[in-house]
Structure 1
């Protein structure tokens, strides 16, 4: 009897212990699940994808005989929950950014997405202009006004203007560029009112706005972040189906794909999978972007063999140097190529020997 009682006690003890462990596991699962809904004051960035541009860019009468491909690269970005915050503490392929560095003061996530899409649209137009000029076509460029890329919390423009609006006049004087807007506000003081004429979704509207001191500045203004809105006319139709991709960093790679479709004499890819990144300006210069370490990881995962990275030899944290560091860390065989202009990229491709298959 004593042995049976001891056996029963031992079994009961094991059952209690098992229930305790199971309860702890369930609690941990619940807490982990809840952590995805606990907000933080950060955004998280991670490797995105490398997307072949041939299928999403169509140039009128252009050729599509690439044996390889040009690829744009993306970064995944989103608001960081507590779970993602903790993940970023232990992963080399995740970074945290304070929310105020990503979105403007008073800007919500919808505003951020709208701004990123507007910048992407502008980047597409610049890529078209650069590619057509490179191919020898005439391109007409006309400044249309001052593009509203954001509004500051507590400033007059916050309730009156939206991201994507284009300011075309101040007090009846045309403002084709940001410098013209600043010129119209120069010499004015807080409390003065100005009449802003702007376009929104193709419609012209006007609003009277008082001027207020700008944050961390001796100047007064209405409180907007600006960019240039330009009318770019090219001789052939270009269709770019890049829905869901925002920001300016695909400019270089889009320009290369458009130029390759216009260039009927040679396949610039030479059979290689070519990824890259960088903004593009009207003069063909390639600008620095954010998150290049994530783009290197994404390109390598997609099988890219060559990667174009913006380069500035005078910048100790240039994209090219960061790209090389990441490539070494992940052990990729992908060739990292520094470029300052689109001409640098084209010159490299012209010298590239066709891939042996």
Structure 2
């Protein structure tokens, strides 16, 4: 065998060995890429993303698209070296340290549960924000987060239960629930009226003395973050999780509850968490979300103010960035774009 042939053979063997090792060696990174884009005023698999019953709704047009980020790697699915290297060479994706997204002790189940909970909270906050913007009255509720193992409430009250009353008195805030329990002496029973799913039931729970001497049942509740709405709003996006679609959900609900098409037929995408008061918050993966939005045909992208600096550095051609500080400002910006009137807040140039 000639020296050249031998060199090529050895080089080929080394390349193959590197590829095999690279495909097997796990690395603590996560690859972020553009994920699914769904129209919040449209359908997913033949089912409306937003369904409203018990209140008049109006026809819509165009698109108000939520955007997502897909990821490879993470707890229980460690990334291999070759995939990470490919990601570093692709300008539409990002490769980030795993610990920047997931706590070191997270399990796949915990990650899934957290994403699901964040999506549920986001949908509830989005509904509250839209109704508040339309001056439609809503009520606060109190929900069970968890129970202490071995405490009287353990096994009786469940995470997600909505406490509507205590001993027959309506539960309107966390303090009112805790105060009703503290009226009892340790060993007495307190009766919770609980809404679980579509049914409501009364659940008696014994009380005990807490470490500080107060009467407790051993339950952790969600303070002032649940809401009771005057009509039903259902949001369905399949197995997508996380909180960053809040702004687009609230705009979709707002559009369906108001006469006329908010977009005027435009294709608008956007992202941002949202609070019940309409404040829009920052998100992660802004670069990948913009790429996904443009690929889906969007020409306008609603951007949280805190993400503007990163967005202007990577905005795809043909996509106009519009700064969204609140739900109200986002609606006004869309009105101005649709009617070609007024100023539209933009992300400042870097």
With 269-278 and 138-147 compared, the bigger mean Cα shift is at 138-147
The 5-angstrom pairing of residues 192-203 of structure 1 reads: none
**Which residue of 2 is the match for residue 141 of structure 1?**
139
1:158-189: per-residue Cα shift (whole Å, max 9, x none)? Answer: xx89x956797xxx9x9987889999xxxxxx
Q: Structure 1 residues 23, 104: closer, same or farther in 2, change over 3 A? A: closer
1:181-230: per-residue Cα shift (whole Å, max 9, x none)? Answer: 999xxxxxxxxxxxxx999977978899998xxxxxxxxxx9x9977541
Distance of 1:165 and 1:208 partners within structure 2: 23
Of the three residues 332, 335, 346, the one matched with 2:331 is 346
Q: Structure 1 residues 31, 145: closer, same or farther in 2, change over 3 A? A: same
Q: Structure 1 residues 103, 201: closer, same or farther in 2, change over 3 A? A: farther
**Which residue of 2 is the match for residue 94 of structure 1?**
94
**Structure 2: 5+ residue stretches without partners:** 44-48, 180-190, 212-217, 341-350
Distance of 2:22 and 2:104 partners within structure 1: 31
Distance of 2:245 and 2:143 partners within structure 1: 24
**Which residue of 1 is the match for residue 309 of structure 2?**
321
1:232-268: per-residue Cα shift (whole Å, max 9, x none)? Answer: 2132x3332212111111111011111111222x211
- In the alignment, is the contact (CA less than 8 A) between 2:262 and 2:335 conserved in 1? yes
**Which residue of 1 is the match for residue 24 of structure 2?**
34
- In the alignment, is the contact (CA less than 8 A) between 1:143 and 1:177 conserved in 2? yes
SS at structure 2 position matched to 1:275: strand
Provide the TM-score with structure 1 as the length reference. Answer: 0.67
**Which residue of 2 is the match for residue 248 of structure 1?**
243
SS at structure 2 position matched to 1:121: helix
Q: Structure 1 residues 210, 76: closer, same or farther in 2, change over 3 A? A: farther
How far did residue 324 of structure 1 move? 1.6
SS at structure 1 position matched to 2:338: coil
- In the alignment, is the contact (CA less than 8 A) between 2:35 and 2:289 conserved in 1? yes
- In the alignment, is the contact (CA less than 8 A) between 2:298 and 2:319 conserved in 1? yes
Distance of 2:248 and 2:263 partners within structure 1: 12
**Structure 1: 5+ residue stretches without partners:** 1-8, 184-196, 212-221, 312-317
Of the three residues 43, 50, 67, the one matched with 2:37 is 50
Is 1:59 matched with 2:55? no
How far did residue 110 of structure 1 move? 0.9
**Which residue of 2 is the match for residue 288 of structure 1?**
282
Provide the TM-score with structure 2 as the length reference. Answer: 0.68
- In the alignment, is the contact (CA less than 8 A) between 2:142 and 2:223 conserved in 1? no
**Which residue of 2 is the match for residue 81 of structure 1?**
79
**Which residue of 2 is the match for residue 215 of structure 1?**
none
Distance of 2:207 and 2:94 partners within structure 1: 43
Instruction: Please identify the structure whose Cα radius of gyration is greater.
Output: 1
SS at structure 1 position matched to 2:301: strand
How far did residue 144 of structure 1 move? 0.4
With 285-294 and 138-147 compared, the bigger mean Cα shift is at 138-147
Distance of 1:209 and 1:254 partners within structure 2: 43
Of the three residues 299, 304, 308, the one matched with 2:298 is 304
- In the alignment, is the contact (CA less than 8 A) between 1:270 and 1:352 conserved in 2? no
**Which residue of 1 is the match for residue 228 of structure 2?**
232
SS at structure 1 position matched to 2:290: helix
How far did residue 70 of structure 1 move? 0.5
Distance of 2:235 and 2:298 partners within structure 1: 22
**Which residue of 2 is the match for residue 119 of structure 1?**
118
Q: Structure 1 residues 46, 209: closer, same or farther in 2, change over 3 A? A: farther
The 5-angstrom pairing of residues 130-169 of structure 1 reads: 130-136=129-135, 138-145=136-143, 147=145, 164=159
